[in-house]
Structure formats: C-alpha cells, structure tokens
Amino acid sequence: MKKVIYQVNAFSDVPFGGNPAGVVPNAIGLNASHMLAISKEMNLSETAFIFPLEDEVADYEVKFFTPTQEVDLCGHATIASFFTLASKGVITGIDNVKIVKQKTKAGILPVELYFKDNKIHSVMMTQAKPKFLFNVKNVSELAEIMGINVTDIGIEGYSLIPQAVSTGLTDIMLPIKSLSALKSINPNYDSLAQYSNKLNIIGVHAFTLETEEESSALACRNFAPAAGIDEEAATGTSNGALGAYLVKNNVLEFEDNLTIICEQGYYMNRPSKITVRLEGSKDDLTVKVGGSAIIVSSRFTSEV
C-alpha cells in the first residue's frame, strides 16, 4: 500500500519560508507504526495523517507524528493539512469562510478556511482552551540550559516569569528582554530534552516585544529537542499559548478580540508569520492561530 504525501510550508506563501510539514490527505489503512515510519522517512518536525469521518462529531480525524513520537496537536501541520485539502479540491469554497471540525487528541477543534476567487487563501484553527499549568521556580537553571544570562529573562515594565501554558501542547513561555538576547539563545539540547521530559512539556517558547518587522507584535524562537526538534521555524500551538499568556499577564490590551502577528524562524532562514486571534473574555478566552501555506512537493511513500 502506497500513500501520496505532500510537503507543505505553513505560515508562509513562498517556497523556502515557513515551517514544512508532511501531509497525508487520506491515511485510511495506516496504523501507528506505519505513521511513525512515514514520519521518520519524511524527517520533518511533524507529519499529519488525515482520516475522513462520516459522523456528526467531526469531519476529519487528524493524527500528528514527529519522527520519534505521536503528539496531541500541531498548529503548523493543521494549517498545512487543511490548506492541502482545499488546494486539492477536497474542500471547496468561493469567497467565503468554511468551517470544518477536526478530531485530535487535544479535542474536537474547529478550523476556518478562507477562500478568495475560488482558491484557498488562509486557514485559521481554534485551539484548546488555555491551561496555565505551573510557574518556573528555578529561573537560573532554565537560563543556564538556554545559554543566556538570567538577567536576559523578563520584559521591561512587566512582572513576567516563565510559565508553562498549553492550548493543546505544553510549552514554557520564556520572556526575553531584547531582540539581541533572543538571537543569542544557544541551548544545551541534551539538557533541555532532559528538562522537558522531567517537567512533561514539549519545549520552550522564547519571545520578546522587539521585532524584526514593524507589522509584527512579537519575535519568537521555539526549542523542542525532547520531541526531536531542536528549533522550529513556526509553531501554531506555542504562539497560541503565548497569546493567552500575554492576555492573562496584562501585556496585551484586550477587551473582546485582538489579532497579533508573531514572527518566527528568522534566524533559521525560514521567515514565518503566524496570525494569533484572541476572542471572548480574559477568563473565557478563545485562541485561534493561522496563516497561509504553500505546497512545495509531493511523493509516494514507500510500501507499508
């Protein structure tokens, strides 16, 4: 049995930007060992496997695999998945928004597909409700692991401390005082993997309010060696969690809705722009993440 698989760059509309994900649009017949083998073969940060459903609960079940393990949810692979389904005519639209539901290990989550002139323009995914899990007590230990000074951690004018937050996957939000300090982060990846496993987190999402581009609200870097990803060019779930973290800590002025742009991947030569939309109230926040994507290649998997 062979399956077609696409490489899709999410959060960008140029071939060498964004974060590449593998997408298998019809994964019927594949089991967990097949999916893991395909993910290892693709050797991308995540590969998404799409199973069409015929029930009232969800339209599709999507499973996400890194080269080493299955994960509950992946933002950039979700954007890549539904952009691919729309690009290939599986989901159609004209000049409208079409909402479908995906079943994931993080729950049943709506996905909004925006069409323009009969073509897919962008995709937004609703994430799981934010969970604020724990504060990092030993900031010096984290600074040492990340290869920075403890004085680099924080944001001027705010009382921010690193905190583990989840909108589907758990990352530590790590505030950094300047863009130069963000650029200087040089983790000990073995130590960070051990640290992440000990705390049962995916990794660390570092950010600063200084940016490379005026249109961006935040500059970010994401590190997840425990999941087989030393650094990732664009992360949907972590930027969604970051938006929730900033609202909870009163860094963003928020009433009932707010849209911000996070830039990521700039120091990996894969510039990415992630749109984060926050809706509702501070105590009942809905987090959406999205952007554009581009299909860069396709192939058939090996026999499985």
Question: Residue 6 pLDDT > 70, yes or no?
Answer: yes
Question: Confidence class of residue 303 from pLDDT cuts 50, 70 and 90?
Answer: low
The predicted pLDDT at position 21 comes to 94
Q: Domain 131-287 is in which class?
A: alpha beta
Neighbour tally for 97: CB within 10 Å: 11
Q: Is the pLDDT of residue 39 over 80?
A: yes
Q: What is the pLDDT of residue 229?
A: 86
Q: What CATH superfamily is the domain 4-127+292-300?
A: Diaminopimelate Epimerase; Chain A, domain 1 (3.10.310.10)
Name residues whose C-beta falls within 8 Å of residue 51's C-beta, 6 or more positions apart in sequence: 26, 27, 28, 60, 61, 62, 63
**Mutual angle of helices 189-199 and 139-146, in 10-degree steps:** 140
4-127+292-300 and 131-287 share one fold: yes
Residue 278 pLDDT class (50, 70, 90 cuts): very high
- Rounded average pLDDT over 166-177: 95
Q: Once rounded to an integer, what is the mean pLDDT over residues 105-129?
A: 91
Q: What is the CA radius of gyration of the chain?
A: 18
The pTM for the full model equals 0.85
Q: Taking all residues of the chain, what is their mean pLDDT, rounded to a whole number?
A: 93
Q: Would the pLDDT of 265 be above 90? A: yes
Active site residues: 46
Q: How confident is the model at residue 304 (pLDDT cuts 50, 70, 90)?
A: low
pLDDT above 80: residue 230: yes
Provide mean pLDDT across the span 225-248. Answer: 92
State residue 300's pLDDT score: 84
The domain locations on the chain are 4-127+292-300, 131-287
How does strand 70-71 pair with strand 257-264? unpaired
Mean pLDDT of 206-212: 97
**Letter for the amino acid at 183?**
K
In this predicted structure, the answer to whether residue 145 has a pLDDT above a threshold of 80 is yes
pLDDT at 255 over 90: no
pLDDT tens profile 91-105: 998 888 999 999 999
